[in-house]
Amino acid sequence: MKKTFFYLATAIALTACTQNSETETLAEENSTTTVAARRSCPSEEIRQQLLSTDASARARYAKIEAGLQSFITSGKVLADGSVDIPVVVNVLYKSSAENISDARIAEQIAILNADFAGTNTDATKIPTEFSGIKAGDTQVRFHLVKTVRKATTKTKWGTNDAMKKSSSGGIDATSPSNYFNLWVVGNMGGILGYATFPESAGLWNDGVVIAAPYFGKTGATAPYNLGRTATHEVGHYLNLRHIWGDASCGNDLVADTPTQTGANYGKPTYPLYNTCSGTSRSVMFMNYMDYVDDAAMFMFSAGQKARSQSVLTSSGARSGLRVY
């Protein structure tokens, strides 16, 4: 079982995901569309850059983690049983294909609700080994408040948050303290999406970005066509880390997820054994916070549920989402 306590200095020193050439050139506006060969999410990498350069962000992060430990120790649950998060979807499109339909947006919201409620149909695939520690209903819900659309001449977007500012051709966030803002852009090269963590709560750039080919199900690009890119990134938004801790046998700060040697890809077969600290056991590759294909991920753990709930309490970093 992994330690649940976090030391800020360790987090800053963690090895980040290797940034490929596609990520480094994402700001280029005239390039051909790159289809992701395998899942890539730079959210933790972006977070480490923020923490290494912003003392106030480090202080907010430390406060969030301290509050999490208090939440887990007290055994509290959300006062009203659940939090229904209001969502604003911001669509930036160059072509009609990128201007995703209202039906596809509704489809993605429904997927988020099913995945976070544990009612997803593929939850039946959770191995018996992990069935006792599955999250089930995380008590997190989502509902669409409005959709904002804007045509653009950009053919490629980066991870520099340009899509989040009208001054750089994007769409400004709608009251990010009280609304979950989700941006859908046409192309981010090899990146499927990225997110901000709770230490960015309420800031101008707070929210999740998803590339249009990987948003929802209808018309989405396989093998990332079941809406799980959004589930993964919303996990980050609610303070969940990659399950391997972004290091070999790293720590995701969740006690009930098995330690693993790194990210998994494709559609692994259970059991998939890894050895960390001399112990060999199957990893939880079907967790939403791994890198497997959409069809191979279908669960959160109870420990991840607690982390998500802690930031949504009345004193949590994302308490503003409870007021709308």
Q: Is 107 a catalytic residue?
A: no
Rounded Cα distance, 175 and 320, in Å: 10
- The span from the CA of 210 to the CA of 193, in Å, is 4
Place of tokens 């997110």: 195
Round to the nearest angstrom and report the end-to-end CA distance of the chain: 39
Of residues 226, 209, 109, the one with CA closest to residue 159: 209
In terms of Cα–Cα distance, which of 58, 49, 86 is closest to 173? 86
Looking at this protein, which amino acid is placed at residue 319? S
Task: Give me 227's structure tokens.
Answer: 């809406």
Which one from 45, 107, 199, 233 is the annotated catalytic residue? 233
Distance in angstroms (rounded) separating the CA atoms of residues 111 and 120 = 8
Return phi, psi of residue 111, to 5°.
Answer: -65, -45
Q: What is the CA radius of gyration of the chain?
A: 18
Strand runs (DSSP E) across the chain, as ranges?
A: 83-93, 140-151, 180-185, 193-195, 208-211, 273-276, 279-282
Residue with tokens 């018996």: 128
Task: Give the active site residues.
Answer: 233
